[in-house]
Amino acid sequence: MVLDFSSKKKWIFIALAIVFIGIPMLIIAYEIIFSGEESVVISINTESVVDLVIVGAYMVVLSSFLVLSSVWFIKQIRSLINLKNEKMKVELVHLQSQVNPHFFFNVLNNLYGLVDKDQEKAKDMIINLSGMMRYSIYEGQMELVNLSEEIEYLKKFIQLNQSRYQKIIEVQFETEIEDEQKQVTPLLFIILLENAFKHGVEHLRKDAYVKMQIKSNMEQVVFSIENNFDPDEQSKQEGMGLKNLKRRLSLLYPERYNLAIEKTPSIYKATLTLSTQ
Which tens digits make up the pLDDT trace of 59-106?
A: 776 677 677 777 767 777 776 666 566 656 655 555 555 556 667 777
Query: Which H or E element spans position 260?
Result: strand 257-263
* Same domain, yes or no: 79 and 213: no
* Same domain, yes or no: 149 and 42: no
Most confident stretch, 78-92, 119-133, 145-159, 222-236: 145-159
The answer to whether 78 and 135 have CB atoms below 8 angstroms apart is no
Host domain of residue 74: 5-89
* Same domain, yes or no: 259 and 146: yes
Determine the length of the chain.
277
Q: What is the CATH number of the domain that holds 268?
A: 3.30.565.10
Confidence class of residue 118 from pLDDT cuts 50, 70 and 90?
A: confident
What is the C-alpha separation between 262 and 277, in angstroms, rounded? 27
* Same domain, yes or no: 215 and 193: yes
Query: What's the rounded mean pLDDT across residues 8-12?
Result: 63
Task: Give residue-wise pLDDT tens across range 34-68.
Answer: 655 555 555 555 555 556 666 676 677 667 767 77
How much is the pLDDT for 224?
Answer: 97
3-state secondary structure of 213: strand
What is the C-alpha separation between 238 and 240, in angstroms, rounded? 7
* Same domain, yes or no: 30 and 105: no
3-state secondary structure of 221: strand
What is the C-alpha separation between 180 and 216, in angstroms, rounded? 9
3-state secondary structure of 171: strand
Residue 263 in this model has a pLDDT that exceeds 70: yes
Question: Where among 89, 119, 136 does a domain terminate?
Answer: 89
DSSP state of 196: I
What is the C-alpha separation between 132 and 160, in angstroms, rounded? 10
* Same domain, yes or no: 57 and 182: no
What is the C-alpha separation between 73 and 87, in angstroms, rounded? 21
In the chain, DSSP finds a helix count (H) and a strand count (E) of 7, 7
* Same domain, yes or no: 37 and 70: yes
Residues sharing a CB contact under 8 Å with residue 135, sequence separation 6 or more, in sequence order: 149, 153, 156, 186
Question: Where among 33, 68, 89 does a domain terminate?
Answer: 89
The answer to whether 203 and 229 have CB atoms below 8 angstroms apart is yes
Maximum pairwise Cα distance, the chain: 111
* Same domain, yes or no: 141 and 253: yes
* Same domain, yes or no: 75 and 111: no
The answer to whether 244 and 99 have CB atoms below 8 angstroms apart is yes
Mutual angle of helices 101-114 and 147-164, in 10-degree steps: 40
How much is the pLDDT for 9?
Answer: 60
Question: Where among 89, 117, 137 does a domain terminate?
Answer: 89
Sheet holding 208-216, edge to edge: 169-177, 208-216, 220-228, 267-275, 257-263
Average confidence score pLDDT of the chain: 79
pTM: 0.67
* Same domain, yes or no: 45 and 23: yes
- Tally of structural domains, the chain: 2
How much is the pLDDT for 2?
Answer: 41
* Same domain, yes or no: 221 and 249: yes
What is the C-alpha separation between 154 and 264, in angstroms, rounded? 25
* Same domain, yes or no: 117 and 217: yes
